[in-house]
Amino acid sequence: MLSGLVDVAASDEPPALAVLQPNYRAVYKPRPELGLAWGFPAYDSRNEPPAEHDWQPRHWRSVALRYALVLLNGAMVWQVEYGQVNLGAGRDGVIAWPFTQYVGWLAGESPSLGLWVREWERDFARLLNTLEGNTAFDPAGEEAAAEISVVAGHPLVPVQ
């Protein structure tokens, strides 16, 4: 069983580990050696309220950083960050976790914040929505509400 470990101790305590299990698992039926495990939180949040991000739209109750793992024969070969969005009333869903880009920083202007994701990450997040059965969640509409731009590319190719 794949699991993750995080340090849950406060800064003035000795290390203490908690085991984090994924919320979901899937296997690619034609190639059962390929699988996914997702829902890993970025940290143990049992004693902390959900964080608010300055880029999240007001109508979102929260968005939490999560991890999905691509597995080959049960071993992790790729890790993907995504956002678990809570809209309330059972309308949760997944978006790709955006990167931050500062525009105008080098030109001496006050920087404006831009958010972007690659097509591959967006499509991966939409796959997770499909697997979770998030039919009441509109990923394209929520990406637009958060003003997230989509750029061409794959995670192994630098964005130009």
Tens-digit pLDDT profile for residues 56-72:
999 999 899 888 989 99
Q: Considering the domain boundaries, does residue 76 fall inside one? A: yes
pTM of the model: 0.79
In a domain, 67, yes or no: yes
Predicted confidence at residue 160, as pLDDT, reads 56
Domain assignment of residue 12, yes or no = no
Give the domain range for residue 147: 24-44+51-151
Whether 2 maps to a domain, the answer reads: no
**Per-residue confidence at 114, pLDDT binned at 50, 70, 90?**
confident
Sign of CA dihedral 50, 51, 54, 55: negative
Q: Is residue 137 part of a domain?
A: yes
Residue 10 forms part of a structural domain = no
> Do the domain assignments include residue 144?
yes
- Decide: residue 102, CB within 10 A, 0-12 exposed, 13-18 middle, 19+ buried: exposed
Instruction: Report the share of the chain in percent with pLDDT over 90.
Output: 40
Q: Is residue 106 part of a domain?
A: yes
Summarised one tens digit per residue, pLDDT across range 70-112 is 999 988 888 889 999 999 888 899 999 998 876 655 556 655 5
Domain count, the chain: 1
